A and B are shown apart, each in its own frame.
Chain A
Amino acid sequence: MNGEHAWKPFRETVDAPMERARAWKEQTGGKVIGHLLPDVPEEIIHAAGALPTAVEGAGTQGTQAQAHIPGYTCSHAMGAIEQGMRHDLDILDGMIIPYVCDTTRNLFHIWNHCFPNKSNEFLRLPKRLDYPGAAEYLKAEFSRLADSLCNITGRPRDDEDLAASIALYDRSRAALRNAYRKQREQPAVWTSERVQTLFKSAAKAPREDHLRWMEALPWDEQSQDAMQRVPIYVRGKVWDPPGILDLFDKIGLLVVEDEMTTGYRGVATDAGSDGDPIDVLVRRHLSLTPYTGYHQQPDKLVSGFLERVQGSGAQGVIFLNPKFCEAAGFDTPDFQKALENAGIPSLVLESSSRGVSLEQIRVRVEAFREMIAEDLP
């Protein structure tokens, strides 16, 4: 496989993820388990013999969800309900909703009311990341999830299965990290949009297939890049509005690092194989870049962010803040202030497909690029 052809299975998965899940289900007779972002350990779902498939609500248009959840809800949660109401998620046998904020907490209950026939799980993630007891608690919670999933699939719980799933996901993360590196080195071929298609599809396709497809990518293809690209760092949840990465590519912004749950953050850290597989997953979780809903000592949250930005070599930062997200909304002003003090320009974009057009965003992003480009040597 080479050229456009090699990218095809990834695009197909992203365009019709539930079709991919249906095909897998027909073939294997296994269960398909949806999970909302962020940080549901896919390895545990995989080890239980099910297909994990990430549900991204952002970018979903519609009017049916409004009868169940008010309009002042982030599009991530609202979109998940909308997809459920219009039967896009019928293939799911279960859904795992992580407790990362008040919205996902409420969403779990609303979801359960709307879709009582699915096996729904509420994953209670600890928020106090730097408290020693969080690890012990999370271990119990991940074990509870593993038991619950094995109950759904009927497969007995087995540490070796889990260790094998972790190894598979680590291999996949390594491949995705390579792709991300390529994005920096060969941005004309490995465009942000393409690379993110790899990331997005990884969370939806059977991971073994995905890894195989990735091996067939044109890793050695070289191409001259005529464009002068400005390196940026992005903080946010998911790439919303749809088309935002294509916009970055076209106007010459190069994402060198990001904290998106569907982006680099998700692959930056491997789990490893050192010890009990649940412990390994707990360690990985606690070393991830803190999601906005989590807590650390408040000055460390800001200084840690600044260090990551400075370490990335980015010339500017874009915040893709989901509208109505309290956590991101309260984090951003101090994060921006720290950047300003360090002489790093930043731009806040409210990401919500409701009411904001890509054209409006384009104007602001172009102006931002011009401003940073002026400062470049």
Chain B
Amino acid sequence: MQPIQALKHLKTITAQYFSSAHMAKRNNKAIVYLNVFTPVELFYALDMVPVYPENHAAIIGARKMSQEVSPAAENLGYSMDLCSYPRCDIGSFVMRLSPTWGLPKPDLLVGSNGQCGTITKWFEVLSRMYEVPMVLIDVPHSGNGERDPAAERYVRSQLEDLVGVAEGISGNSLDQDKFKETIRISQEASRLWTRMLELGTADPAPMTVFDQFVAMFPIVSQRGTQEAVDFYSELVNELEERVANKVGALDNERYRLFWDNLPIWPELRPLSSFLGERGAGLVASIYTWAWSRLGVGEDDPFADWTEQYLYTFNFHMSKRIDMYVELAKRYNLHGFLYHSNRSCKYISQDIPEVRAAVTERTGIPGVILEADHNDPRLYTVASLERQIDSFLDLLAQKR
């Protein structure tokens, strides 16, 4: 396995991002906490510093600190049945223990429930903790993605109203040229990210999903900055070169697998080696796909955001099934690993139905792995490995 060179920059990019976030106040910049389906370009254009508590929590998980910090949140009454991201984030705040020197105090919280309902409640807790205002972008997804003009008006008006709120908090007024420029840069980062994902269709795949997870930081936190564009340009160039030279992420790619749901952050390395040693490559994942197609146009970004939040990212069950069937073909998949993530009810509860339907339509088997994306007390690696091994045996027999 040859490591991808471009990924080496991530350490510096992350460190720089957090140090400039911590310096924001000194530079007279306001800090806004966000989640994925929020218009980050608007905040960059207003010279605000976007911070993603989910990202912070994921780093806590990946650095294996969850077990240290999460109990502090549980002692406050947040049960272990709740999503482990907020538990880690709140616990880290209480203990003042964090791999990123904590997070700078926000001036504004903007969350969208187009992702999940947990974000709303998590941000409500943060809003009371920091005594700062919160804006919820309420996205009432229709059942099977039917068009809903009333919902479009509702979402759009919330987004438009957000501009005034953000201008008030930042003390800046929205400069249209800067706004358009940020949108262009963000679009480019999004395009490169999508290109990176598409390169996974090559045989052998030049990058595994594990590396995609690692490479997510700039697309999450820095969409709308030149740093993100530079990083993904270099990464995509390197991957294109690998594809041209038929250099795969694994030395011997025997199985091409799909990963459903969030990664298990604390186990990225062990699971990556475990699968790699068996020639099983994770080549596509819903989680990394969720970050593609986030770019908007300059003409009417509010219409584009509304369209994305209400429809593009309404990952309802039938859409997921159709999408997996399509990805199975495009990525030439042999199997699906479904991470049934105890924390994330939003993306996990329909897994039994999704698995059954996808297998019925494609003949491609899938295995459900019961775990948690951030809390190692809720699963054992040995049992995950056992399940994966028997699944790979099944795939071997099928050949």
Contacts and interface: CB of A to CB of B under 8 A. Distances in A.
Contact of A70 (B79, B154, B352): B352
Q: Which of B149, B151, B349: most chain A CB closer than 10 A?
A: B349
Interface in A126-153: 126-128, 131, 133-134, 136-137, 139-141, 144
B120 A295 contact: yes
Contact of A133 (B131, B153, B352): B153
Nearest to A140: B150
A187 B158 CA distance: 48
Given A109-B350, A133-B158, A326 B345 contact: yes
B82 A299 contact: no
A105 interface: yes
Interface string B126-170: 011001011010101111000011110110011000000000000
Interface in B189-204: none
Interface residues of A, number: 55
A101 B120 CA distance: 10
A330 B86 contact: yes
Given A133-B157, A136-B153, A330-B124, A105 B141 contact: yes
B249 to A, nearest CB: 31
Given A105-B316, A127-B120, A330-B86, 14 more contacts: A69-B352, A70-B351, A72-B342, A99-B140, A99-B141, A102-B345, A106-B346, A109-B316, A121-B143, A128-B136, A134-B138, A136-B154, A137-B153, A326-B118
Looking at chain A's contact residues, the main secondary structure is: helix
Q: Which of B123, B133, B345: most chain A CB closer than 10 A?
A: B345
A104 B47 CA distance: 38
A103 to B, nearest CB: 6
Contacts of B138: 126-128, 131, 134, 295
Interface residues of B, number: 52
Contacts, number: 156
Q: Which of A105, A128, A326, A348: most chain B CB closer than 10 A?
A: A326
B113 interface: yes
Contacts of A125: 140
A70 B157 contact: no
Contact of A295 (B124, B351, B370): B124
Nearest to A141: B150
A113 interface: yes
A255 to B, nearest CB: 23
A101 B157 contact: no
B125 interface: yes
Contacts of B134: 297-298
Interface of A: 67-70, 72-73, 99, 101-103, 105-110, 112-114, 121-122, 124-128, 131, 133-134, 136-137, 139-141, 144, 293, 295, 297-299, 301-302, 323-324, 326-327, 329-334, 336, 348, 350
B68 interface: no
Contacts of B78: 329-330, 333
B352 A102 contact: no
A170 to B, nearest CB: 26
A102 B346 contact: yes
Contacts of B154: 126, 133-134, 136-137
9 contacts: A73-B345, A106-B350, A109-B318, A110-B349, A141-B150, A295-B113, A323-B81, A326-B118, A330-B122
